[in-house]
């Protein structure tokens, strides 16, 4: 038996329960979960709002899709993952047979099933995923380069890397909207990848301060300051070249569009909670590119982020600093409250020390 944090029925709330350990099929891997992150999707599932009802097609289930752990069992047909490996998991389980999958564009699979949403996830002592979804972390002579906390960030860090590197940013001026953990990671990636200026917006002073520590040249509290003022302070002669919209706030995208250079490119990761208008005349006449971003490219993003982290102690430190709270899993309610209020940074549940 194992402990698991479970959505036992439709409606608000989660319950810690005892469940049988999951079984392992011939192409599966069983992982002992050490750390697991709480993200916005998990907050929707806790509240059981309209977004959760639309996403989750089967109840009961175990949430959680951002995790790091140790392999304890592999299916009989697996040769590329071994017991004892330290791993993270790609949360999107794809069909392998649709047009996009067969063309190597697995992140665009039309039949994607998400770990912790449409199938049991990692808010438990053990999780089982297909071997294709397992990312084995590098080590250096037996020394793990990726800590449990950093390993649990590979899912959101992958979102940041995919969003930031969708367009070339070497020597470019980059505007980021939303200074939560992913926004902070995007700052660090943009700085690591060679951007000239990196500016970021938010309304929370502590998150803007964290973004400054990640390498932002300008942190803009948009409750009192406009983006154009930051451009003047940076002595920018034209608008921003690349925009990373991570907040999901309508006004954030609208103001970003107003401050883009002609021919600018915008990566859209944030999910708005409602429909809204944008100035399409400005998009057209300024010849802007708007690109939706969902998850990570399988597995080019994973290769990129692993290479950057293992080769750069500075980047590892910046990304790890986005974690402000590691909470024993038994105290999950406190972890969820910190995540819900946004009073800290990234919140992880510790399944190695349940509490």
pLDDT tens profile 44-79 = 999 999 889 999 999 999 999 999 999 999 999 999
CATH superfamily of 162-292: NAD(P)-binding Rossmann-like Domain (3.40.50.720)
Q: 281: buried, middle or exposed (CB in 10 Å: 19+, 13-18, 0-12)?
A: exposed
Q: And the tokens for 19?
A: 């469940």
Peptide bond before residue 216 is cis, with ω within 30 degrees of 0: no
Q: How far is CA 66 from CA 86, 153, 196, 314, in A?
A: 14, 7, 31, 22
Q: Can you give the pLDDT at residue 141?
A: 58
Residues 6+ apart with CB under 8 A from 307: none
Q: Can you give the pLDDT at residue 51?
A: 86
Catalytic residue among 8, 15, 24, 41: 41
Alpha carbons 289 and 175: distance in angstroms, whole number: 14
Q: Can you give the pLDDT at residue 131?
A: 96
Give tens-digit pLDDT for 238-273: 999 999 999 999 999 999 999 999 999 999 999 887
User: What is the DSSP secondary structure assignment for residue 321, as one 8-state letter?
Assistant: T
- Domain borders along the chain are 2-153+322-350, 162-292
Catalytic residue among 24, 44, 92, 192: 44
- Any catalytic annotation for residue 8? no
CA-nearest of 317, 297, 344 to 162 is: 297
Q: 151: pLDDT confidence band, cut at 50, 70 and 90?
A: very high
Q: And the tokens for 261?
A: 């250079």
Q: Can you give the pLDDT at residue 273?
A: 79
Classified by CATH at the fold level, domain 2-153+322-350 comes out as: Quinone Oxidoreductase; Chain A, domain 1 (3.90.180)
What is the pLDDT of the chain when averaged over all its residues? Answer: 95
- Any catalytic annotation for residue 44? yes
Alpha carbons 186 and 178: distance in angstroms, whole number: 10
Give tens-digit pLDDT for 14-45: 999 999 999 999 999 999 999 999 999 999 99
Q: 72: buried, middle or exposed (CB in 10 Å: 19+, 13-18, 0-12)?
A: middle
Q: Can you give the pLDDT at residue 70?
A: 97
pLDDT at 142 over 70: no
pLDDT at 143 over 90: no
Q: And the tokens for 271?
A: 């999910």
């Amino acid at each position: 038996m194992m402990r698991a944090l479970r959505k036992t029925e439709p409606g608000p709330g989660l319950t810690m329960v005892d469940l049988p350990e999951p079984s392992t099929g011939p192409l599966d891997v069983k992982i002992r979960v050490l750390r697991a992150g709480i993200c916005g999707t998990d907050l929707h599932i806790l509240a059981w709002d309209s977004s959760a009802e639309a996403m989750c097609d089967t109840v009961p289930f175990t949430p959680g899709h951002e995790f790091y752990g140790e392999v304890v069992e592999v299916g009989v047909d697996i040769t590329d993952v071994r017991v004892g490996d330290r791993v993270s998991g790609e949360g999107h389980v794809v069909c392998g047979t649709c047009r996009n999958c067969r063309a190597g564009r697995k992140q665009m699979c039309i039949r994607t099933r998400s770990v912790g949403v449409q199938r049991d996830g990692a808010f438990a002592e053990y999780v089982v995923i297909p071997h294709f979804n397992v990312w084995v972390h590098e080590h250096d002579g037996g020394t793990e380069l990726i800590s449990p906390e950093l390993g649990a960030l590979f899912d959101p860090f992958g979102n940041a890397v995919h969003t930031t590197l969708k367009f070339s940013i070497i020597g470019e001026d980059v505007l980021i909207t939303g200074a939560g953990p992913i926004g902070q990671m995007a700052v660090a990636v943009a700085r690591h990848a060679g951007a000239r200026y990196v500016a970021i917006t938010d309304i929370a002073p502590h998150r803007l301060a964290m973004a400054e520590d990640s390498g932002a040249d300008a942190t803009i509290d948009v409750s009192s300051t406009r983006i154009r003022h930051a451009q003047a302070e940076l002595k920018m002669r034209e608008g921003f070249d690349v925009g990373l919209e991570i907040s999901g706030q309508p006004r954030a995208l609208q103001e970003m569009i107003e401050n883009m250079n002609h021919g600018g490119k915008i990566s859209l990761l944030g999910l708005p909670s409602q429909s809204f208008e944008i100035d399409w005349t400005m998009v057209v006449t300024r010849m802007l590119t708007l690109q939706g971003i969902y998850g990570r490219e399988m597995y080019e993003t994973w290769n990129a982020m692993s290479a950057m982290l293992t080769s750069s102690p500075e980047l590892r430190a910046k990304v790890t600093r986005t974690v402000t709270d590691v909470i024993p899993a038994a105290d999950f309610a406190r972890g969820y409250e910190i995540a819900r209020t946004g009073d800290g940074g990234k919140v992880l549940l510790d399944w190695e020390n349940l509490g």
